[in-house]
């Protein structure tokens, strides 16, 4: 309470002090202005005085004869003298009381001079009243007193000695000055009241302005306080975010390291002689580990996007390739469930500039969901494009399934993180509920749009649209062989697939027939005497499967049969050699890719004139492409050492182990290697330092041994640090044997030549 009063008191004191400052300044400014105004008035009076002397005084003083009078000198000299002193004061001391009082005296002397020049005319006495009114603008009643004293004294003295000068008569009553002084006092008292009130109003205005200023400064202080609080809160939140990112990076590293043991060993185990039951166990370990890694990657991605740390790449890429890769990866899952997986994209290459990795991730999320939530029927990935201004292309992706569908009231919620349409789905289908949330965020960053249409029991269509600049990927070289007028029969029970393949074939200029079953196909083949060039034959069809149709074609048409290309999404029990004996010339795995279909047809069209016995090369067991490769493995962790050494031994490589970076550098100077697998975190000398040393040793020799960083730190910046240290590529732990082969092969292709 007391402090509140103290606060109020000090606030009031501040307001009053400030009001006083404002008031003083205003009054001073007003008085300085008045000083200048009065000086101007005096100058005018001087001119008026000279004029009066020339035209009025001759008449008033000597009757009808008009001639310049000695008063001319008086008005020029005296008037000049009267004005000179105030001019000096206004120049040297503007706004000071002495200046005002001097002006008051001078002004009243001007009145006296003018009255004298007009020969004491009573009208000229009004000059006195006017002057007093002007002086009142100073809002200083003391100035009026000075003026009054001067007027009274002047009237008294001149009334006694030269009454004509002041009253216009030769003889005047010596008390007449009292009457004049009385009128002057009357006016001065009224003007004094005006002065006091004027000053009070100025004070009120100053006080109000000071109060407003105080309120404003209080608001500013409050705003500053809040801004500071906000800044501190943001700093705290930034620090928390950094801590979260660091925690995630650590956690990711800690989980990936043991997972490398699990994935690597499970992969190796699967390559040994196992009983059926053991094989199943190994598969389960592999599938669980892969699932766990997918969730871990999702969480990492999600937190990266949330923290605004995700940056999109911009490279030229072919959208067709991305779609085909995604669908290819999901093909075996779909085939296992007997779900038809279809690609419906334009036959020509669509090149754009954007982030192909993120596009693949978004499509993968949608396609894997579609396959996961569909138990029968089909999943179709469709791409349509629209030309946009500025060399841009709008891509619309649709992933349509005939799965369980999503209730309407849950359709908005599933785009949120960790949300699922029905919580029981987690138990039935698994999943973390992050896939759609990540896709949505990625599309937000890319300025895309995202949506779903779905009906429970009928299926769902997830779609998204992206506008990207057109890319400059060189279009695939013009096909050498024209397919114009080639006669093709497409046999498939799935109408969507018939439609998609038909669209490609039509765009290549073929003559096209379709049949929806084996028996219908045979009828069409019988009916057309001119025959067909190629039959695209689906394997899984109700009634008669593709192999039986192919056999029937072989039996009926013998040597004159068309080329038969089998389309199959499932592994069948027949070997490739069997296929040939059934009358099958080539086989393509579904989901079909337009280029592959075209190449298969081209191959058989070009061989038309040649012997048809030339069959596809049987893919014999090839030697491992990495056989004999000398690899130095730098790794400190026991389990990971065993994984790496075992995988490399399986691939036929000659692998040598170094326990840390320092040992690796020494080994390299003693022995020749083709490639280094370098763990990043190692005691004594870490992988990055070792890579730097190796590159230093190579400097100027023209040698460049490929170094692959192997690390459980999979964040973008970790990869960048490895590359900065001179390594060529990055393999994230955990890795499967095939992933390692792929990375090594790519690195050898790119950097091996200089090794």
Which positions touch ligand ADP (CB under 6 A)?
365, 369-370, 373, 401, 403-404, 406, 414, 420-421, 425, 431-437, 460
- Sheet containing 586-589: order of strands: 511-515, 487-491, 534-538, 563-568, 586-589
Neighbouring C-beta atoms of residue 57, cutoff 10 Å: 23
Least distance (Å) between residue 501 CB and ligand ADP: 24
If residue 400 lies in a helix (H) or strand (E), which one and from where to where?
Answer: strand 392-401
Compute the least distance from the CB of residue 409 to ligand ADP, in Å: 13
The rounded distance, in Å, linking the Cα atoms of 246 and 269 is: 35
Minimum separation from the CB atom of position 398 to ligand ADP (A): 12
Question: Minimum distance from CB of 370 to ligand ADP (Å)?
Answer: 4
Pick 48 or 294: Cβ nearer ligand ADP: 294
Closest CA to 674 of 705, 642, 641: 705
Secondary structure of residue 275 in the 3-state scheme: coil
Cα gap 184→423, rounded to integer Å: 101
Q: How far is the CB of 376 from ligand ADP (least distance, A)?
A: 13
Residues linked to residue 378 through DSSP beta bridges, in sequence order: 340
Q: For residue 608, which of 563, 647, 646 has the smallest C-alpha distance? A: 563
The nearer residue to ligand ADP, 455 or 614, going by C-beta atoms, is 455
Cα within 13 Å of Cα(66), Cβ side: 6
Smallest distance from ligand ADP to CB 412, Å: 11
CA distances from 9 to 117, 206, 215, 243, 283 (A): 61, 19, 15, 48, 83
Closer to ligand ADP by CB, 110 or 373: give it.
Answer: 373
Category of 420 on φ-ψ map: left (φ > 0), alpha (ψ -120 to 50) or beta: beta
Q: Give the strands of the sheet with 630-634, arranged side by side.
A: 654-658, 630-634, 675-679, 707-711, 729-732
State the minimum distance, in angstroms, from the CB of residue 727 to ligand ADP.
34
Q: Which is nearer to ligand ADP, 165 or 369 (CB)?
A: 369
| CB of 366 vs ligand ADP, minimal distance in Å | 7
Task: Pick the closer one to ligand ADP by CB: 92 or 428.
Answer: 428
Which of residues 378 and 679 has its CB atom nearest to ligand ADP in the complex?
Answer: 378
C-alpha 428/C-alpha 720 separation (Å) is 40
Nearer to ligand ADP, 400 or 561 (CB): 400
Q: Select 257 or 369, whichever has its Cβ closest to ligand ADP.
A: 369
> In this structure, are residues 407 and 424 in contact, taking their beta carbons and an 8 Å threshold?
no
Compute the least distance from the CB of residue 371 to ligand ADP, in Å.
Answer: 8
Backbone angles phi, psi at 563, to 5 degrees: -70, 140
Report how far residue 351's alpha carbon sits from residue 295's, in angstroms, rounded to the nearest whole number: 31
Q: Smaller CB distance to ligand ADP: residue 7 or 455?
A: 455
Closer to ligand ADP by Cβ: residue 436 or 710:
436
> Which helix H or strand E contains 406, and what residues bound it?
none
Task: In angstroms, give the least distance from the CB of 363 to ligand ADP.
Answer: 12
Q: Is residue 317 within 8 Å of residue 473, measured between CB atoms?
A: yes
DSSP 88-143: HHHHHSTT-HHHHHHHHHHHHHHHHHHHHHTTS-GGGGHHHHHHHHHHHTT--HHH
d(CA 172, CA 154) in angstroms, rounded, equals: 14
Nearer residue to ligand ADP within complex by CB, 382 or 730: 382
Identify the bridge partners of residue 449 per DSSP, sorted by sequence position: 465
Closer by beta carbon to ligand ADP, 407 or else 625: 407
Using DSSP bridges, classify how beta strands 487-491 and 511-515 pair: parallel, antiparallel or unpaired: parallel
Shortest Å, Cβ 734 to ligand ADP: 20
Output 256-259 pairs: Cβ under 8 A, ≥24 positions apart: 256/293, 256/296, 256/712, 256/713, 256/714, 256/732, 256/733, 256/734, 257/637, 257/640, 257/712, 257/733, 258/639, 259/289, 259/292, 259/293, 259/733, 259/734
CB 272 → ligand ADP: shortest distance, Å? Answer: 33
C-beta of 252 vs 420, nearer to ligand ADP? 420
CB of 405 to ligand ADP, least distance (A): 6
| Residue 594 neighbours by CB distance under 10 Å | 22
């Amino acid at each position: 309470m007391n402090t509140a009063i103290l606060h109020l008191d000090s606030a009031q004191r501040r307001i009053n002090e400030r009001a006083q400052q404002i008031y003083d300044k205003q009054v001073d400014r007003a008085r300085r202005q008045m000083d200048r105004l009065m000086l101007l008035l005096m100058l005018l009076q001087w001119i008026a005085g000279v004029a009066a002397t020339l035209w009025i005084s001759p008449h008033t003083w000597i009757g009808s004869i008009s001639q310049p009078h000695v008063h001319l000198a008086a008005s020029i000299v005296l008037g000049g003298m009267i004005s000179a002193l105030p001019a000096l004061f206004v120049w040297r001391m503007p706004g000071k009381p002495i200046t005002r009082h001097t002006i008051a005296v001078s002004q009243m002397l001007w009145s006296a001079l003018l009255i004298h020049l007009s020969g004491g005319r009573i009208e000229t006495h009004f000059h006195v009243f006017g002057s007093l009114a002007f002086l009142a603008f100073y809002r200083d009643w003391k100035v009026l007193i000075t003026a009054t004293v001067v007027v009274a004294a002047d009237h008294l003295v001149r009334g006694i000695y030269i009454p004509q000068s002041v009253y216009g008569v030769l003889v005047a009553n010596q008390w007449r000055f009292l009457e004049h002084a009385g009128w002057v006092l009357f006016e001065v008292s009224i003007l004094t009241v005006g002065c006091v009130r004027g000053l009070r109003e100025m004070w009120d205005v100053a006080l109000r302005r000071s109060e407003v200023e105080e309120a404003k400064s209080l608001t500013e202080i409050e705003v500053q306080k809040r801004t500071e609080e906000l800044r501190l809160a943001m700093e705290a939140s930034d620090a928390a975010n950094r801590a979260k990112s660091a925690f995630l990076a650590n956690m990711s590293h800690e989980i990936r390291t043991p997972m490398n043991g699990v994935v690597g060993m499970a992969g190796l185990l699967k390559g040994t002689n196992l009983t059926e039951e053991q094989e199943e166990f190994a598969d389960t370990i592999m599938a669980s580990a892969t699932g766990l890694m997918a969730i871990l990657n999702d969480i990492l991605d999600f937190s990266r996007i949330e923290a605004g740390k995700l940056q999109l790449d911009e490279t030229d890429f072919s959208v067709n390739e991305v779609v085909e890769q995604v669908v290819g990866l999901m093909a075996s899952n779909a085939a296992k469930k007997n779900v038809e997986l279809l690609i419906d994209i334009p036959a020509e290459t669509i090149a754009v500039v954007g982030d192909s990795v993120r596009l693949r991730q978004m499509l993968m999320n949608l396609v894997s969901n579609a396959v996961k939530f569909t138990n029968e029927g089909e999943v179709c990935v469709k791409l349509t494009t629209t030309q946009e201004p500025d060399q841009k292309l709008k891509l619309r992706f649709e992933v349509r399934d005939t799965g369980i569908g999503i209730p309407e009231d849950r359709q908005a919620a599933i785009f949120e993180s960790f949300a699922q349409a029905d919580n029981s789905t987690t138990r039935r289908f698994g999943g973390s509920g992050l896939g759609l949330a990540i896709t949505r965020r990625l599309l937000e960053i890319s300025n895309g749009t995202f949506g779903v249409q779905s009906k429970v029991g009928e299926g769902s269509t997830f779609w998204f649209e992206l506008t990207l600049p057109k890319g400059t990927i060189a279009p695939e070289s013009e096909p050498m062989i024209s397919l114009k007028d080639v006669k093709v029969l497409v046999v498939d029970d799935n109408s969507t697939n018939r439609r998609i393949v038909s669209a490609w074939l039509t765009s290549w200029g073929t003559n096209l027939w379709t049949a929806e079953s084996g028996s219908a196909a045979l009828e069409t083949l019988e009916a057309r005497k001119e025959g067909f060039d190629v039959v695209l034959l689906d394997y899984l069809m109700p009634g008669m499967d593709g192999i039986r149709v192919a056999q029937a074609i072989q039996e009926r048409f013998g040597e004159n049969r068309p080329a038969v290309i089998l389309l199959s999404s499932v592994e069948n029990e027949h070997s490739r050699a069997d296929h040939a004996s059934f009358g099958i010339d080539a086989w393509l795995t579904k989901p079909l890719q337009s280029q592959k279909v075209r190449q298969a047809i081209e191959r058989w069209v070009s061989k038309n004139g040649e012997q048809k016995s030339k069959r596809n090369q049987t893919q014999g067991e090839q030697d491992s492409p990495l056989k004999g490769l000398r690899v130095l493995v730098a790794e400190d962790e026991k389990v990971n050492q065993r994984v790496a050494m075992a995988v490399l031994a399986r691939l036929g490589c000659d692998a040598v182990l170094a326990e840390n970076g320092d040992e690796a550098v020494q080994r390299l100077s003693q022995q020749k290697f083709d490639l280094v697998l370098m763990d990043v975190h190692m005691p004594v000398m870490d992988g990055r330092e070792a890579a730097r040393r190796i590159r230093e040793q190579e400097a100027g020799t023209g040698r460049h041994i490929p170094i692959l960083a192997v690390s459980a730190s999979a964040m973008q910046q970790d990869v960048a640090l490895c590359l900065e240290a001179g390594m060529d590529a990055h393999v994230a732990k955990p890795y499967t044997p095939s992933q390692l082969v792929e990375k090594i092969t790519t690195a050898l292709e790119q950097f091996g030549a200089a090794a």
